[in-house]
Amino acid sequence: MKNGIHPDYNPVVFVDANTGKEFITRSTKSSAEKKVIDGVEYGVVTLEITSDTHPFWTGKQHRVDTAGRIDQFNKRFAGDGKLNIAGAKRKTRRVAAKKSEEVEEK
């Protein structure tokens, strides 16, 4: 590594603002607030959302179905429960252009 171009890498403790849970790690993020844990001085960085309070990690995430996308998917692949790959493929530009040329020739 070249000297003088990288930020300092210090021990820090990330604190969840909602639950107070602490995550001890190292980071380039620094803080004026300090905390001593087991004889080591850590910079304290407060976060609003961590894995302790994020809806995805807590299991409280809700899916929002915008424009009926889930319904569209279910209609498209409804039937006997088998996935119809051939029916799901979209036409490529070449196929669409070829078909339009055939129509013009007739």
Q: pLDDT digits over 39-96, tens only?
A: 989 999 988 888 777 766 666 766 666 667 777 777 877 765 555 555 555 556 666 6
Percent of all residues in the chain with a pLDDT value above 90, rounded to a whole number: 11
Mean pLDDT (whole number) for 1-29: 88
DSSP class per residue in the chain:
--TTSSPP-EEEEEEETTT--EEEEEES---S-EEEETTEEEEEEEES--TTT-HHHHT-------TTHHHHHHHHT-SSS---HHHHPPPPHHHHHHHHHHHHH-
Q: State the pTM of this model.
A: 0.49
